[in-house]
Amino acid sequence: MSNLTENQKPIRNELQAGRVRSAWIFLSPMIVVLLIVAAWPLSRSVWFSLTDASLLHLYDAKYIGFKNYFKVLHTDSGETLYFGVLMDKAWWNAVWNTLRFGVTSVVLETALGMAVALVLNANFKGRGFVRAAILIPWAIPTVVSAKMWGWMLNDQLGIVNDMLIKLGLIHEKIAWAADANYSMIAVVGVDTWKTVPFMALLILAGLQMVPGDVYEAAEIDGVHPVKVFFKVTLPLVLPALMVAVIFRMMDALRIFDLVYILTPNSSQTKTMSVIARENLFDFDKFAYGSAESTLLFLFLLVVVTLYIKLGRVNLDGGVQ
């Protein structure tokens, strides 16, 4: 028997090597596409961030090292901001806006998405129609959503102010997208309206993988529905929830189009993507904007990596 096992090892190794070769063959088209549409532009952006490039001098730019990154972290305004270090106020304001928007929107969308997914997972008449209808906000292009909500939130003609006044929630019209006190609320609200269906769809996919026998056993034992959710549903759907959050987090931290269209030129909502685009094209600081774009990429990489590490630890702890 041991001789037979020894004879089978080369065959098993050959089969495994064949599977690896097949996997690389199937993955190679995707890898080539990613190199063309992602790796190459990213590498060019990193290179431009190390030069003095401008829109008129892209190909004859000179290498200047990390000076553009030092400019992002320092300013000549003479104001000490953090720990005695002079920093670019506009950039760090954009960093703060990005974090504030990202955390708030992801938390709201995850909670509401979970609630919607639980409703859609229930068995009721017309469930298929409701599932299709709930995806309409997600299907609308962001540019169209931003323009539509821009009119709805208008302080003179918008329907939102009219409805809130009739309900007695506000006493005077508010310029939601123009007022510095409310512009971030407007952006988060519109983004939540648009993205909750996406979160609900991903969470619903996880809920449908939960065995029905688990709920039947909990019902027979007389376990309270709230306890069933936290002790049974949430742990079992946690992997799908983590995937939904990580996808949404990456989108939220690089938000551009909604902010750029709904609240243009507002320092209260200007994110890292918006300020990088301004320096790249509006102010003709191509190298400086490339440095900010590279910092945004590194920022996303760090946040996502930490989230995956922490999530893996929590999942491992749950399994144990």
Q: Using an 8 Å Cβ cutoff, are 206 and 239 in contact? A: yes
Which residue range forms the structural domain that includes residue 35? Answer: 1-49
Residues 20 and 135 in one domain: no
Residues 32 and 89 in one domain: no
Residues 33 and 148 in one domain: no
Residue 24 lies in a domain: yes
Residues 144 and 292 in one domain: yes
Block residue for tokens 């962001």:
142
33-66 confidence digits (pLDDT tens): 888 888 888 899 999 999 999 888 888 889 999 9
Residue 37 lies in a domain: yes
92 pLDDT band (50/70/90 cuts)?
confident
- Which burial class, exposed, middle or buried, applies to 297 when counting CB atoms under 10 A from its CB (0-12, 13-18, 19+)? middle
Look up the CATH number of the domain holding residue 270: 1.10.3720.10
Residues 26 and 130 in one domain: no
DSSP secondary structure string for all residues of 29-47:
HHHHHHIIIIIHHHHHHHH
Residue 60 lies in a domain: no
Residue 62 lies in a domain: no
Question: Model pTM greater than 0.85?
Answer: no
Q: What is the number of structural domains in the chain?
A: 2
Residue 56 lies in a domain: no
Residue 319 has pLDDT above 50, yes or no: no
- Which burial class, exposed, middle or buried, applies to 165 when counting CB atoms under 10 A from its CB (0-12, 13-18, 19+)? middle
Q: Using an 8 Å Cβ cutoff, are 99 and 183 in contact? A: no
Lowest mean pLDDT of 48-52, 103-107, 148-152, 239-243, name the range. 239-243
For the chain, give the mean pLDDT: 84
Q: Using an 8 Å Cβ cutoff, are 158 and 151 in contact? A: yes
Residue 55 lies in a domain: no
> How confident is the model over 151-163, as a mean pLDDT?
90
More confident residue, 78 or 270: 270
pLDDT given for residue 185 in this prediction: 94
Residue 59 lies in a domain: no
225-276 confidence digits (pLDDT tens): 888 888 888 888 888 888 889 889 989 999 999 999 999 888 889 999 999 9
> How confident is the model over 199-205, as a mean pLDDT?
90
Residues 142 and 281 in one domain: yes
Residues 194 and 262 in one domain: yes
Residues 270 and 141 in one domain: yes
Residues 99 and 11 in one domain: no
